[in-house]
Amino acid sequence: MPKVVDHDERRAELAAALWRVALREGFDAVSVRSVARESGWSAGALRHYFADRTAMVLFAVDHAVAAVRERIAAANAASGALSPEFVQAHLEQLLPLDDERRLESEAWFALVVLAHRDPAAAERRAEVDDLIRDSVESAVAALAELGRLGAGRTPATEGARLHALLDGLVLQLLAAPPRLTAARARALLADHLADLARKAG
């Protein structure tokens, strides 16, 4: 009788190997060969699940999106009531403030690079960018609900500004060496959110 293969279990095993390689050596080290070596599989067997590095990047981005959603859901559950602190915690899930979130951001930038030449990557990049934009816009809407969006400020403009600030913080946190510490990035974000409560200049 042929052995029954649990493909979901194998894919989870390979995903764990992929993240171990990335945590130890950086996301640039992720390849069919390095993940095969880490998992103890042959490269040929691995390609049944990930045909190439592009497939690995797409998988890693999907993993990152799921992880961000889980953290935001956990923050929602823990916060109880809507507050400025909750909005800050929500947005911090999009920043590379620890090793796990750093890898998620590196996967995102790998996707951005691939999107220039790969249609599937371009489509996924647009989808993820929309998710990030929606998350930022929901944060601005929450501030407005809390009465912390100053006179003369519009949600559309402030959402775009906040999205640009987050992108800049991600870039500076990912620099080698980082241009910002995690504490400084949190402080800059908090200062910006506090400033939104003031009347537009």
Q: What is the mean pLDDT of residues 99-114?
A: 90
pLDDT digits (tens, 9 = 90+) for 179-199: 899 999 999 999 999 999 999
Tell me the chain's radius of gyration from C-alpha atoms: 19
pLDDT at residue 80 tops 90:
no
| pLDDT value of position 5 | 58
Q: How confident is the model at residue 2 (pLDDT cuts 50, 70, 90)?
A: very low
Q: How confident is the model at residue 1 (pLDDT cuts 50, 70, 90)?
A: very low
Specify the pTM: 0.85
Q: What is the mean pLDDT of residues 140-163?
A: 96
pLDDT digits (tens, 9 = 90+) for 33-63: 999 999 998 888 888 888 888 888 898 898 8
